[in-house]
Amino acid sequence: MANLKEVRIRIASVISTQQITKAMKMVSAAKLRRAQDAIVQMRPYAAKLREMMENISDSLDSSTGGVFATARPVNKVLIIAVNSNRGLCGGFNTNVNRAVNKLVREDYAAQVKEGNVKVLAIGKKAADFFNKQPNVYAGNHNDVYLKLSFDAVSAIADKVMKEFADGNYDKVEVVYNQFKNAAVQYVITEQVLPMAPHGPLTPKGGTPNAQEKGMKADYIFEPNKEELVLDLIPKSIKIQLYKAILDSHASEHGARMTAMNKATDNAGDILKALRLEYNKRRQAAITGEILEIVAGAEALNG
């Protein structure tokens, strides 16, 4: 009977876990809807703004585009790793951390040897991971998710742009999960600073943008091109970072909903196996008791 008791305890434990994972799945599904609406509404504006910057890319030089459009030798690099504050979302956080490590190892090996590659973590999971690598850890902004807004992200972007302007970094890139749907997220690396004058609007493997198809708009500038470009570049950088964090936020809830759905299904499979085992052991115990009773009766009759 001790074995039966163990199985019953395991069944109760799995049922409790299944209830938790099912509840987490429902919560993530509700949060996903809001996060998905936010990134879907942001994407057209961000894409159009970046398309405008691409179409006037001839003006993005040191005299017209300012310091944020000036490319210089890459000696110091900042990588912004966008993760979540919580786990239980499958490989969501691990994929970004691996991508950042791969980027550091393969693209900036020379800069790493000089100690000139730093990682700014957005999200507690990224901070916990890179905090163990003090040679690259540059701090975190985990509080951005407490009240995710454009103003909160703008403060981070302002700090990064100031450090770039001061010469603390020569290049800034952001690594994040791009949201496609609840089950699919892509790890994307985008250059934030300096603003690339002829960079693609979409990551590798994405759909061609208007400029890549040979289409280019002709704008009328008022008051003048220089003033507008200098105002648009910082705004475009802030929008780019904000979009990346919104993408990651939606991807997090999608990944967690998918992970909890799989966990709930797995708990159901374990329950079936445990209940089958419990019934087998119970049947064996009952059969054994019946045999003992029959044997005792025959002994009395004999």
Q: Which residues are catalytic?
A: 89
Q: Residues 94, 98, 101, 104: what is their CA dihedral angle, to the nearest 10 degrees?
A: -130
Residues 6 or more apart whose CB falls under 8 angstroms from that of 146 comprise: none
CA-nearest of 163, 176, 161, 189 to 252 is 176
Cross-strand pairs, 81: 121, 175
Distance CA 128, CA 115 (A): 20
Please, what sign has the CA dihedral across residues 75, 76, 82, 85?
positive
Element (H, E) at 91: none
Tokens (6 digits) for 14 = 């799995």
Q: Of the candidates 131, 134, 121, which has an alpha carbon nearest to the alpha carbon of residue 93?
A: 121
Residue type, 67: V
